[in-house]
Amino acid sequence: MRESLSNYLPPFLAKNPSKKREFDKKSIFLEIEKKNKKLLKSQILSIKDFNKNLRRLVNINLIKNESEELLKGDGEIYKLVEMRNFLERLCNISDWFDLLEN
């Protein structure tokens, strides 16, 4: 299989028969954290556009403050991803409220 795909694989993969590939976990987690922080920053900016009905249901200031605190910290990837997912859901709910009102 490796030989049949050798024209399409980078040389280090085409010549290495090992199925186990070593990688730097720390750099991967740092990259994941960096990308999630970037996404979270954009979602924090979208909070100001949340539907007025949603704003009455949730404490926007608390959510914004907690999100900004996560951006300052390091190594809290799981919390960062959870908050990003939470804000994404809130954005969807806000859009849903907008659709219902129009």
pLDDT tens digits, one per residue of 50-68: 999 999 999 999 999 999 9
Range of the domain at 68: 24-101
Each residue of 1-33: pLDDT tens digit? Answer: 667 777 877 787 777 777 776 778 888 888 888
DSSP line for 46-84: HGGG--HHHHHHS-HHHHHHHHHHHHH-SS-HHHHHHHH
Q: Is residue 17 part of a domain?
A: no
| SS3 at position 8 | coil
Q: Is residue 64 part of a domain?
A: yes
pTM: 0.71
Query: CA torsion 65→67→73→74, rounded to 10°?
Result: 180
Q: Is residue 62 part of a domain?
A: yes
Q: Is residue 69 part of a domain?
A: yes
The pLDDT of residue 2 is 63
| Domains identified in the chain, total number | 1
